Amino acid sequence: MKHVYATLALCFALGLAPAAQAQKMRTTDVESGMMDKGKKVGVWEYFSHTRDGRQVLVQRYDHTTNKLLFYRPIEDVPYNAEVAPGQWTRTNVEQPPLYIGGEAALAAHMAKLTYPQSAQNRNIQGKVLIEFVIDTLGHASNHKVLNSIGGGCDEEALKLCQSIPPQWVPARLAGRAVPVQYALPFTFRLATAP
């Protein structure tokens, strides 16, 4: 036992802290977990806020094993799912496609949307809807504009949607991951004068 304490004391004296010391706890109002060398490790909890301001747990995800441990069920929405190779059917899934970190993490990326000055000058406003496929590995592909408003807004929304980090958990149907079509709305609205 004396040898263990002497070894630990020597490690600290030389600046060689044990591996556990390299990890840091990170907690914000939307997430909580351990960081190690700038990467999320272990089990992280992700939160959202209700309309009345309460914080609720929406996801628990193990970043070490890349496994979803818990998600707060959301409304039951049907998706176009590939139930057999090349066969797409609109159906309810057991588990919807989820973005790791929940809506707050996805919203943080979507907030980087740039409103083209030319569209603002021409008073172009509205919602651009981008559809894409989330495959069985959680990768997004086949992005396309479903609802267009023009003025460069479609291109901006498409570019931003394609740049969202690949942190999707695939949908599940009959106990297995399935590709689904997913759509994200991007709103372009001019600020009103006070």
- In the chain, domain spans: 23-72, 76-194
Query: Is the separation of the CB atoms in 85 and 78 below 8 Å?
Result: no
Instruction: Tell me the pTM.
Output: 0.80
| Residue 91 pLDDT | 95
Burial of 192 (0-12, 13-18, 19+ CB in 10 A): exposed
| Residue 10 pLDDT | 39
Per CATH, domain 76-194 is 3.30.1150: yes
First to last CA, the chain: 71
Name the token pair of 86: 């090349």
pLDDT tens, residue by residue, 2-41: 443 444 443 444 444 444 456 899 999 999 999 999 999 9
Q: Which long-range contacts (CB under 8 A, 24 or more apart) does 85-90 make?
A: 88/181
3-state secondary structure of 107: helix
Name the token pair of 36: 């190690």
